Structures are given as structure tokens and as C-alpha cells.
């Protein structure tokens, strides 16, 4: 098993854990329909931030961009919840990049 296979397995396990823990907690806290809307907004904002801020070390700028976009759309989420949703979105984005580069 080479390093890329190990990375893909770890990425998959982390994705399952985030989805298995994060989504039920957020549904409980915000309600199913609202959380779907927020997750979609986060996903779009994260993808946009990834395109706008392409260099390394720009995580804070990306996070601020996502927060700004969510606030503009009227979504109120805690910073911790945003961090979890952003990580899940970036994880999914990276998974797709891995698939494309195979």
C-alpha cells in the first residue's frame, strides 16, 4: 500500500466521521431544512474561496470570505460549526480532486 492509498483511506475515514457526527448534531441544533441550506451555502462559498485564494497560507482569508458570504445570505452559525462544515466541504473537494487526478 503506497502513501496515496493510505491518504485516501484516511481521507475517507475522516469524511465518514465528520458526516456521521457533524450532520446529526447540526440537524438537532438547527433543523434539517435549514442545515441543508447552510451546508449548500458553505459548500459554494468554500469552493469560491478556494478559487479566489489559491496560494498556501491563506486559510484565514478563505475563512473570512466564507463568513462574509454566509452573513450576506443571513445565515447565523457559530464559528465552531462553520469550521466543521468548512472542513467537511474542503474534504469533499479534495476527494473529488484525488479522483480526477487518478
pTM score: 0.57
- CA proximity to 78, closest of 33, 35, 40, 15: 35
pLDDT band per the 50, 70, 90 thresholds, residue 79 = confident
- CA proximity to 50, closest of 83, 90, 85: 90
pLDDT in tens, 19-69: 677 777 766 766 667 777 887 888 888 889 889 998 788 888 888 898 889
Say which residue, 91 or 27, is predicted with more confidence: 91
Domain range for 13: 3-100
Give CA separation, 50 vs 9, 11, 28, 94, in Å: 23, 19, 29, 11
Mean pLDDT, residues 4-19: 68
Q: Is 17 helix (H, G, I), strand (E, B) or coil?
A: helix
Q: How many residues does the chain have?
A: 102
How many domains is the chain built from?
Answer: 1
Terminal alpha carbon distance of the chain: 16
Residues in contact with 95: Cβ distance below 8 Å, sequence separation at least 6, in sequence order: 11, 12, 15
The mean predicted confidence, pLDDT, of the chain is 78
Amino acid at each position: 500500500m503506497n502513501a496515496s492509498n493510505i491518504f485516501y483511506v484516511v481521507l475517507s475515514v475522516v469524511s465518514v466521521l465528520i458526516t456521521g457526527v457533524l450532520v446529526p448534531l447540526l440537524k438537532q441544533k438547527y433543523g434539517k431544512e435549514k442545515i441543508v441550506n447552510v451546508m449548500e451555502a458553505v459548500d459554494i462559498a468554500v469552493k469560491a474561496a478556494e478559487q479566489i485564494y489559491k496560494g498556501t497560507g491563506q486559510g484565514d482569508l478563505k475563512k473570512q470570505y466564507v463568513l462574509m458570504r454566509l452573513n450576506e445570505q443571513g445565515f447565523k452559525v457559530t464559528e465552531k460549526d462553520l469550521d466543521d462544515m468548512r472542513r467537511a466541504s474542503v474534504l469533499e473537494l479534495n476527494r473529488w480532486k484525488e479522483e480526477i487526478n487518478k
